[in-house]
């Protein structure tokens, strides 16, 4: 009987412990509720990837301007200088400072598990934008408030289609170069997937050389110089360049011109982002088309955070999509005066 009483007692204690953990929210899978978060002014931490492109610089400027102009926000800014370890250090610094929210464009997709868990435990909501993060140890949707981003697979598909169209009825095989973005970046993976989705359905245009330009003009120029030398040695005539970003395409176009070829004529050039430099090149006939990577992250994330911090309202969808637009040489002159970056 004594053994029975001890066993029953242990069961009761275990049940009480389990009940207590449940009441305390110890499951760890549900997003933190914004209990009593509303205040007159919020502090937001923002760790930017760097300043690798015209688009990135414009993106930084528009976010800082939006938050600094808003009466209910102040913003702490950190430039990661293209290094994930700097972004992670900035996130931990924001957590220590007990900011109200964090903006994170993830330089690469993986490697965020530990710091995202720390932010969740601190009850700090994170908005991921542009370049997406992923989790190995959990569901990313449990650790982020939302993701704000265009559909980069669609951007790649739209780019590939306008690239095909630019060659008209020219017979194949048409050998082209693909310059990819930063290795491991979600935008590079998705844009590459979109390009392959379209090009794989035909056999006229052939990607003969594919290499990363790391989303920078200088790296892309060096890579293109090397590819053109290799193509010459292989006896291959390069007729096109499809780039994951306009900045890489612009850098590569310098190498194309220095090799004695005419950018936009001898070598068709398309890219993604919609930077002003691409429109200027299109007006001059040195560039073929661009798919816009939209701005507007400042106003959109402010709207999302006010709903969440003031009212506890999460976005209706985890992925808040921004729209892409496609521009060609025909549009360039009319659109150029409106470009802000």
Query: Phi then psi for 46, rounded to 5 degrees?
Result: -130, 110
Same domain, 55 and 201: no
Tell me whether residue 252 is in a domain: yes
Query: Phi then psi for 216, rounded to 5 degrees?
Result: -120, 150
pLDDT at 339: 85
Nearest to 31 by CA among 136, 119, 148: 119
Same domain, 93 and 174: no
Same domain, 203 and 166: yes
Tell me whether residue 49 is in a domain: yes
Tell me whether residue 53 is in a domain: yes
Interval 90-147: pLDDT, tens = 999 999 999 999 999 999 999 999 999 999 999 999 999 988 899 999 899 999 999 9
Tell me whether residue 7 is in a domain: no
Same domain, 143 and 257: no
Q: pLDDT below 70 — which residues of the chain?
A: 1-36
Tell me whether residue 29 is in a domain: no
Tell me whether residue 30 is in a domain: no
Tell me whether residue 36 is in a domain: no
* Biggest CA pair distance of the chain: 97
Domains held by the chain: number: 2
Tell me whether residue 31 is in a domain: no
Same domain, 47 and 174: no
Task: Give the Cα separation of 179 and 192 in Å (integer).
Answer: 9
Same domain, 192 and 304: no
Q: What is the CATH number of the domain that holds 168?
A: 3.40.50.2300
pLDDT at 35: 52
Q: What is the DSSP string of 226-289?
A: HHHHHHHHHT--EEEEEESSHHHHHHHHHHHHHTT--BTTTBEEEEEE--HHHHHHHHTTS--E
Same domain, 66 and 178: no
Structure-token match 């017979």, residue found: 171
Same domain, 268 and 174: yes
Which residues span the domain enclosing 188?
152-294+327-338
pLDDT at 241: 98
Structure-token match 């509303």, residue found: 38
Coil, strand or helix at 164: helix
Same domain, 165 and 70: no
Q: Which residues contact 56 (CB under 8 A, 6 or more apart)?
A: 48, 49, 50
Same domain, 305 and 286: no
pTM, whole model, 2 decimals?
Answer: 0.79
pLDDT at 17: 32
Same domain, 273 and 164: yes
Task: Give the Cα separation of 209 and 169 in Å (integer).
Answer: 23
Same domain, 213 and 268: yes
pLDDT at 338: 85
């Amino acid at each position: 009987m004594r053994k029975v009483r001890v066993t029953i007692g242990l069961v009761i204690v275990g049940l009480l412990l389990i009940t207590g953990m449940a009441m305390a929210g110890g499951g760890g899978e549900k997003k933190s509720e914004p209990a009593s978060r509303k205040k007159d002014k919020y502090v937001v931490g923002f760790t930017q990837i760097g300043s690798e492109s015209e688009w990135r610089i414009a993106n930084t400027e528009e976010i800082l301007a939006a938050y600094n102009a808003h009466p209910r926000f102040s913003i702490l800014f950190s430039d990661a200088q293209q290094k994930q370890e700097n972004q992670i250090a900035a996130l931990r610094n924001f957590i220590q400072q007990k900011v109200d929210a964090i903006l994170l464009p993830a330089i690469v997709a993986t490697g965020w598990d530990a710091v995202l868990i720390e932010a969740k435990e601190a009850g700090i909501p994170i908005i991921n934008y542009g370049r997406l993060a992923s989790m190995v140890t959990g569901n990313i949707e449990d650790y982020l408030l939302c993701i704000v981003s265009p559909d980069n697979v669609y951007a790649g598909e739209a780019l590939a289609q306008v690239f095909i169209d630019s060659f008209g009825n020219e017979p194949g095989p048409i050998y082209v170069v693909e310059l990819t973005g930063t290795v491991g970046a979600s935008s590079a993976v998705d844009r590459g997937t979109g390009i392959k989705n379209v090009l794989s359905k035909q056999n006229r245009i052939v990607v003969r050389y594919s290499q990363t330009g790391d989303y920078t003009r200088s790296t892309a120029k060096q890579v293109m110089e090397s590819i053109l030398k290799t193509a010459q040695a292989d006896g291959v005539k390069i007729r096109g360049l499809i780039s994951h970003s306009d900045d890489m395409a612009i850098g590569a176009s310098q190498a194309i011109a220095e090799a004695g070829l005419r950018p936009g004529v001898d070598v068709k050039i398309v890219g993604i982002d919609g930077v002003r430099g691409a429109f200027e090149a299109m007006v001059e006939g040195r560039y073929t088309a661009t798919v816009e990577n939209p701005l507007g992250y400042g106003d959109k994330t402010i709207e999302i955070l006010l709903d969440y911090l003031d009212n506890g309202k999460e976005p209706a969808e985890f992925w808040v999509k921004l729209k892409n637009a496609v521009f060609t040489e025909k549009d360039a002159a009319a659109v150029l005066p409106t470009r802000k970056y």
